[in-house]
Each structure stands twice: as structure tokens, then as C-alpha cells.
Amino acid sequence: MNLALKDIRHNLSRFSLTALGIGMLLMIVMGMGGIYQGLIKEATLLVDDIGADLWVVQYGTRGPFAEISRIPRNLEDRLQSVPGVLSARAFVTYAVQREYRSKPLRMQVQGLSWPEDKGEWLPLVAGRRLGAAHYEVIADQILGLQLGDELPLGKNVYKVVGITKGMSSMSGDGLAFFSLLDSLDIQYDYSGEAIRLEREARRWRVARQDIGHTQPSLLERAELPSANLAALPLPSVSAVLVRLIPGTDPDSVVAKLSGWTDVSVFTREQQKELLLRGVVDRARRQLGLFRALLIVISAIIMALILYTLTLEKIHDIAMLKLIGARNSVILALILQQALLLGLLGYIFAFIAGKWVFPMFPRRVVINTDDLVSLAVIVFVISVLSAGLGVWKALRVEPNEVVS
């Protein structure tokens, strides 16, 4: 005869509600761990998936994610000539927030160096890769866009040709992938009046110089588009992504590029370290501390619950002692109930979490290691919490049955 099960059947509704409450508390602990892992996943998503061995950015910066980086696009041609480099392609990233269908639409624009990079590495759930250098976009489903939607940005309209899943930035915004040229057009889009004023300013600056008087044709050239003026640089990019020939030592290539005084170079692991120890470091530590606090609170609550359940059985425990029951029987009664509460709470937390977590606005990543570690934590909490009830039960005297 199992006394723990008999006691549970006698107070089934109370025990079920208690297990439900513990399950909800454990679900919050599980969710907090999932948010912690989701934050790390979002921060390192592109670094892991884009397939670059080296990230070349503006000298002295920690770009392109940790801070703004601006380098000339033609840098990729220089990098192609470095021994050990298989390919180099330009990369652009920045955030955009616009109104679309009377609702705010915030996304992280990613410029892909088409046709070298058409987005073959993206996890598509619908549609296709970029098929042209202009006017196409691959959007993550978190943005709420559908295949065939036309998205006006700047002076052009871009058609959604592909939908990805799970591609979001470290701030939780969905990623939108354009060709490099389109992303630059969006980033450096100016109103007609701003363009006119800039050209007038260039003409005025030339007119003030002696060369403007001796060569009047320069005044006319000053009003041409910026791309037609050799003296003006082309729009810069955020970074150049370098892939190395298989078997090449990354450190040797980094050592060569370190001699270039206009760029900084980071390996894939260094780029991830910049993100985890810089951009998301405070948020990551705060989530970790909050999760630890929830675990301590869960242990205290479970201990109080088991202590209360023990107080309700004082008369029954005294009766057991009066008829000669060993302390091990009483200890098993309390410990089995504690373990069963922890088990039922854990099962409820897992099932409810599977249903609730996908509704969260930010990514929640529940991996196997976290589930196993939480199961061990719940077991330890259950055993330690039972200790308070056992301590009280062992202090009960048999003569209390008649009091």
C-alpha cells in the first residue's frame, strides 16, 4: 500500500491545483531560459548562417553589427587578390521603419551581393531566391508580408519573391534581403528637393574657386548625378565577407590584412564574441540572473507548499507513529509527494510551453540541454523542499493524536 498515492487520491483537487501552480512557475523558468537562448541565437544568426570566414570592416570599428561601418565597395576587388581568399562579396545592413498598409513596418535590411549571393543559404518556406539585381526582396514571415506583395521603399517598389522563417535581428526585427544595389538605393534615397539643393551647393562651391572661372564646363558637370562624378565616391557598404580556400589558415590571412591601415578584420568567432560580449551582453546577463532568481523562488514556494501539506497531515503522521510506523515510511510519504509534484509540474510546463512560447514576439529557443538541466534542477528542488516537511514530520510526537 502506497501512502503517498492514497493521500493524493484523498485530496486530488488540491494536489492537482498545487501541481498546476508549480507547473506554471516552472513554465516561466523554462521560458526565461528559452528567451536567453533565443537572444543568443538572434545575435549570432547571420554570423553562423551567412558562411563568411572573415569579416572585413572599417578600420577601428567593431562593425557591421556592433557599430556602424563604412568601407568602399571596391574593397572586394582588392581582397580577391589576397592569397588564400576564395571569394569576397560586399554586405550591407541597417534598420528601416516605414508605414505599410496603415501599420508600422520595421525590418532589418540585408544587402546581398547579387549574383554571387542570391540567398541560397536562406531557409525558405515559400517562394524562391533572388532572381534579378533589382526590385525583388526575400522577407521573413515575422514581417507579415506575403508572396507577391509589393513593398514601396524610396522611389521604387519591391516585390516579395520569397519567405523565410526564423530570420530575425538581435533586436527581434524580421530580416529583409535585397540585392546590394537595391539596398544601397534604399539607404541613400533622398527627396528630389534634397538632391537639387546638393547639386546647387556643388555648383556654388565650384563657382567660388578659380577653376570655376577658367573652366566654365565644370559648373555644368557639378549638377550631374553623384554617380557620374569621378571625384565623388560611390556609396559605401557595411562590410566585405571573405571566404577562404579550404585548408587555408585564417590567422595567416588575418595577419596579412592587418597590415592594411584602412580596414579591421575579424574571424567568425571573433565577430560572435563582439556581439555576445558587447551588443547583447547586458541583456544576456540580466536574463541569466532573472532566471536564477526564478529558480530560487520556485524552491522556496515548493518548500512552503510541502511544509503546509505536512502540517495538514500532523494528525495522520502522529497516528502512524502511534501504531509503530517507521520514520522511513513517513519520509517516503513526503518525498514521493514532492517528487510527484515536481514531475507533474515539469510535464505541464513542457506541454504548455510548446503551445505558448511560439506566440511570444521574440524568439524562444528550448534546446535539449536546457530541458535536461531544468529536469535536474526540479529534482534537486523537490528533494530539498521535501526536507522542510520531513523535518516537521519527524518532530511530531505520537501523543499528538489525542490532542
Q: 324 and 243, same structural domain?
A: no
Q: 201 and 107, same structural domain?
A: yes
The torsion angle over the Cα atoms of residues 56, 58, 59 and 62, rounded to 10 degrees, is -80
Residue 266 has a pLDDT of 92
Residue 1 has a pLDDT of 46
Q: Who's near 189: CB < 8 A, 6+ residues apart?
A: 153, 154, 155
Show which of 262, 279, 296 is a domain's final residue: 279
Residue 400 has a pLDDT of 56
pLDDT digits (tens, 9 = 90+) for 54-78: 999 999 888 788 888 888 888 888 8
Q: 165 and 189, same structural domain?
A: yes
Number of domains in the chain: 2
> In this prediction, what percent of the chain has a pLDDT beyond 90?
14
Q: 238 and 135, same structural domain?
A: yes
Residue range(s) defining the domain that contains residue 209: 45-279
Q: 359 and 232, same structural domain?
A: no
Pick from 123, 117, 64: which is nearest to 94 by CA?
A: 64
Give the Cα separation of 213 and 309 in Å (integer). 97
Confidence band of 403 (pLDDT split at 50, 70, 90): low
Q: 93 and 177, same structural domain?
A: yes
Q: 156 and 267, same structural domain?
A: yes
Asked if residue 84 has pLDDT above 50, the reply is yes
pTM: 0.75
Asked if 364 and 357 touch (Cβ cutoff 8 Å), the reply is yes
Asked if residue 402 has pLDDT above 60, the reply is no
Show which of 229, 260, 279 is a domain's final residue: 279
Give the Cα separation of 381 and 296 in Å (integer). 9
Mean pLDDT of the chain: 81
Asked if residue 356 has pLDDT above 70, the reply is yes
Choice between 225 and 341, residue whose per-residue pLDDT is larger: 341
Q: 105 and 60, same structural domain?
A: yes
> In this prediction, what percent of the chain has a pLDDT beyond 70?
77
Q: 343 and 225, same structural domain?
A: no
Choice between 397 and 193, residue whose per-residue pLDDT is larger: 193
Q: 183 and 66, same structural domain?
A: yes
> According to the per-residue pLDDT averaged within each range, which of 133-142, 364-373, 384-393 is highest?
133-142
Choice between 320 and 261, residue whose per-residue pLDDT is larger: 261
Q: 274 and 195, same structural domain?
A: yes
Pick from 112, 162, 106, 114: which is nearest to 138 by CA?
A: 162
SS3 356: helix
Give the Cα separation of 18 and 148 in Å (integer). 51
Give the Cα separation of 186 and 189 in Å (integer). 5
SS3 201: helix
Asked if 140 and 175 touch (Cβ cutoff 8 Å), the reply is yes
Asked if 158 and 137 touch (Cβ cutoff 8 Å), the reply is yes
DSSP-derived pairing of the beta strands 263-267 and 156-164: unpaired
Q: 275 and 291, same structural domain?
A: no
Q: Which amino acid is at 331?
A: L
Give the mean pLDDT of 168-190: 86
Task: Catalogue the E-assigned strands of 13-79.
Answer: 54-58
